[in-house]
Amino acid sequence: MKKIQVKHIVIFLLILGLSLGIDRIIKYLALNYLLQDISIISGFLKLELTRNVGIAFSIGLPMIIQILIFPVLFFMGLYFIYKYFDTTKVSVQIICGAIAGGAVGNFIDRIYYGHVIDYISVSIFPVFNLADMEIVIGIFLLVVFYGKIKRV
């Protein structure tokens, strides 16, 4: 069995904290200052404040299920990463810290507001936020690196 060392989780926790902090600041700014849509690329990209009561890709589930399922999925994900990835690799620590920071940021929204604050609108996707990007891109990178990061 692998032994977790403090030095192996420091980067993970730093990235998680940074990710979560930036998420909270941007969502605060969106809630307080994004009073109307702002077009960035006409017809394609805009800032648009929305309140997402669903989960990934706005799929609807009762809030109690969303709240109860988060800790289960979160710790299952951490266990999977611990079991199958070399967690001494800085790349794994950074990717997992970003995924965890995004997940915790959206979970805080669900608990505090009863929905997730979204603000990035790309014409072909549901409106999303930085936390969503961290989760999706992080999981994508784990999949891409799965064969390249030394599995234990």
Distances (CA, A) of 112 to 10, 19, 122, 144: 27, 18, 26, 34
Active site includes 23? Answer: no
Q: Which of 37, 86, 109, 118 is catalytic?
A: 118
Cα separation of 21 and 42, whole Å?
Answer: 30
Find the angle CA(78)-CA(83)-CA(88) to the nearest 5 degrees.
85
Is 142:85 a contact under the CB 8 Å cutoff?
yes
Active site includes 86? Answer: no
Q: In what order do the strands lie in the sheet with 116-122?
A: 38-41, 45-52, 116-122
Cα separation of 145 and 149, whole Å?
Answer: 6
Task: Give the helix ranges, DSSP H, for the chain.
Answer: 6-33, 63-84, 90-113, 130-145
Q: Which of 23, 37, 86, 132 is catalytic?
A: 132
Which residues are the active-site residues?
Answer: 118, 132
